[in-house]
Amino acid sequence: MKILHIIRSVNPEGGGPIEAVIQLSLTMQSFGHVVEILSLDEEDGRLNLKECPLTVHAKGPGIGTYGYSKKFIPWLSAHAKDYDAFIVNGIWQYHSFAAHSVLKKLNSPYYLFTHGMLDPWFKHQYPLKHLKKCLYWFWGEYPVIRDAAGVLFTCEEEKVLARQSFWPYRCNENVVNFGTAGHVGDAAEQKREFLDSFPDLRNKPFLLYLSRIHPKKGVDLLLEAFAQRAGLRPDLQLVVAGPDQVGWQSELQDLAAKLGITDRVTWTGMLKGDLKWGAYHAAEAFILPSHQENFGIVVAEALSCRLPVLISNKVNIWQEIANADAGLVADDTLTGCGELLDRWRQQDNERRIHMGCNALNCFKDYFEITSAAKSLLAIISK
């Protein structure tokens, strides 16, 4: 089968969706399928395209946040016949609207991953932006969802939450396994490389936040909760790793200075490859107090490294984590974030090792990429 993934960009700074597309696609290719990507990236061979291990048809640049490009529809109209299945990743941008326009006209079924973009958290957090989306919903995005052969959700909770954001809402809902390939490489060497890059962390325990630096991720809560307990473990450090997608990092660094923990927080920027895996293996635990997370590829990656995860109950796979005893779960509030830190501090070494073993088993049982790819193939092959 020849499959086309349609997504706004292959830039890894976009977060989990493109990482998931790549991991799923490489696994599908190992099964004998051909997988390519259609995006709104520029056609100039930039690093984003060179780093992507898949064939990318870049038909941008997309203009503005919406991403309009006059090249997109003509290319898809001319080449749709070359593919057996289409998977649209993400909504609220031109690529989903344009894909629907072409594929419905050609009577070509497509499947849609919303990647958490229908979560009602956005409605409550950004009411004015939600009103604007409501005006666009009926004629713009609702047809994309309504006409999809299947709208794909990564867990039951994401599916249920998606029903609460807009009206009308009717679609063919499907819950598919989701995951990542997990850790690859020499863990000891990767850990050494990370600590060589950030020598101030050598021989110091630290908690690892690794995700986009974005208000929905709760980094501000993490800094405040960490500062409130800084004296309880004077040796403990906090590592904040990830791209500063919306220009928020300087404000957070000012907050850290105000809280008196500047020397306790390391800002690494985005970590990739061995440096990323080294951070996981060097950390004491992974922490993500997010306000909204439909899945969390980084959570699955941490689990694959035997790393216990401390997450909020707004990370939609929290129930799997709790059931597997692979980490700790609390509310996405300052109190909840503090609870995660307090409960983790109270775990003895034996308990932490046991939780790490559970983390790896949880990854294998729920989030390993092979079962995720098979689950998706079973749906799009119908």
Query: How confident is the model over 150-194, as pLDDT tens digits?
Result: 999 988 888 998 999 899 999 999 988 888 888 999 999 999 999
pLDDT tens digits for range 243-290: 998 899 999 999 999 999 999 999 999 999 999 999 999 999 999 999
**Max mean pLDDT range (42-46, 296-300, 358-362):** 358-362
Grade residue 48 by pLDDT with cuts at 50, 70 and 90: low
Give domain limits for the chain.
2-175, 187-367
Q: What is the pTM of this model?
A: 0.86
DSSP category for residue 293: B
Which CATH topology does 187-367 take? Rossmann fold (3.40.50)
Give the pLDDT of residue 154: 85
Token digits of residue 291: 């306000």
Give the pLDDT of residue 155: 82
Has residue 36 got a pLDDT over 90? yes
Q: Residue 299, CB half-sphere, CA atoms under 13 Å: how many? A: 32
Has residue 46 got a pLDDT over 70? no
CB atoms within 10 A of CB 247: 8
Has residue 45 got a pLDDT over 70? no
Mean pLDDT, range 285-310, rounded to an integer: 94
Which CATH topology does 2-175 take? Rossmann fold (3.40.50)
270: Cβ–Cβ under 8 A, 6 or more apart, which residues? 12, 13, 241, 242, 243
Fold: same for 2-175 and 187-367: yes
Give the pLDDT of residue 19: 86
Has residue 17 got a pLDDT over 90? no
